[in-house]
Amino acid sequence: NAGVTQTPKFQVLKTGQSMTLQCAQDMNHEYMSWYRQDPGMGLRLIHYSVGAGITDQGEVPNGYNVSRSTTEDFPLRLLSAAPSQTSVYFCASSSSQGKLFFGSGTQLSVL
């Protein structure tokens, strides 16, 4: 019953540091995606993947990298953290019908 698992739940970084947000799903979904949620703005798509080895950019990809070496895992890397990347990050996977399943989120602060 794990669904989509995100780690860590909270993270504080200094400007310029790098880190990886982890995301794993156990539903054998091909589609996975990363979003950031900022106050009053809903969720914005960062990157997505339609299967292992395939990734593409969303609406706000700058400053983030992704890879998809397995169906289960879809990590998000912040290359050089900036205060503008302070946000709540959500990972999601999608069934073949298009229903999205979300992780519980990572609250990131960049000082």
Partner 1 sequence: KQEVTQIPAALSVPEGENLVLNCSFTDSAIYNLQWFRQDPGKGLTSLLLIQSSQREQTSGRLNASLDKSSGRSTLYIAASQPGDSATYLCAVTRGNKLVFGAGTILRVKS
Binding site for partner 1 (CB under 8 A): 4, 31, 33, 35, 40-45, 48, 50, 56, 58-59, 90, 92, 97-105
The smaller minimum CB distance to partner 1, of residues 103 and 108, is found at 103
For 23, half-sphere exposure in the C-beta direction (CA atoms, 13 angstrom radius) is 32
Q: CA 58 to CA 68: how far, in whole Å?
A: 15
The smaller minimum CB distance to partner 1, of residues 15 and 62, is found at 62
Q: CA 21 to CA 44: how far, in whole Å?
A: 17
Q: How far is the CB of 83 from partner 1 (least distance, A)?
A: 22
